[in-house]
Amino acid sequence: MASDIGAQLRKGVVEFCILGILQREPAYGWKLAEQLIDRGMIASIGTLYPVLGRLREKGLVAISEQAAESDRPRKYYSLTPAGVRQLAEFRAQWQPFTSTVSDLVGTGTPA
């Protein structure tokens, strides 16, 4: 049950985590996956691409082919202006949302 809760929470926010990473700098698939796997947000690269596909369908992320630092051509994902707006909206709502949830859920200790 605990892992279900974690999985549901991650599923709800992973798109915005990707948008946040991409706002810092465009990234290729594995670089994105590494950061998300290290933070426990996704299990493998298999989870990443369906999310990237949805973000592209929504016009929040664009793709371009560039040579990386290793000179290997790679597909880079970057934020579109719509993606920047979506991320800003998420940030504006996230803090009050987590505060409200924390207030309602409480800490489990008697008042």
What is the number of other CB atoms lying within 10 angstroms of the CB of residue 96?
9
Q: How far is the CB of 39 from other proteins (least distance, A)?
A: 15
Q: Which of 74, 79, 86, 87 binds other proteins (CB under 8 A)?
A: 74
Stretch that binds other proteins, among 17-25, 48-56, 89-97, 101-109 (CB under 8 A): 48-56
| Residues 27-46, interacting with other proteins (CB under 8 A) | 28-30, 42-46
Q: Which of 9, 39, 53, 99 binds other proteins (CB under 8 A)?
A: 53
Q: Which of 72, 103, 106, 107 binds other proteins (CB under 8 A)?
A: 72
What is the number of other CB atoms lying within 10 angstroms of the CB of residue 78?
15
Do residues 51 and 70 lie in contact, with contact meaning Cβ atoms separated by under 8 Å? no
H-type alpha helices, 1-111: 2-24, 29-38, 45-57, 81-105
Q: Which is closer to other proteins, CB of 4 or CB of 103?
A: 4
Three-class SS state of 26? coil
Q: Rounded to whole angstroms, what are the CA distances from 30 to 34, 36, 77, 104? A: 6, 10, 11, 38
| Binding-site ranges for other proteins (CB under 8 A) | 11, 28-30, 42-47, 49-50, 52-53, 70, 72-75
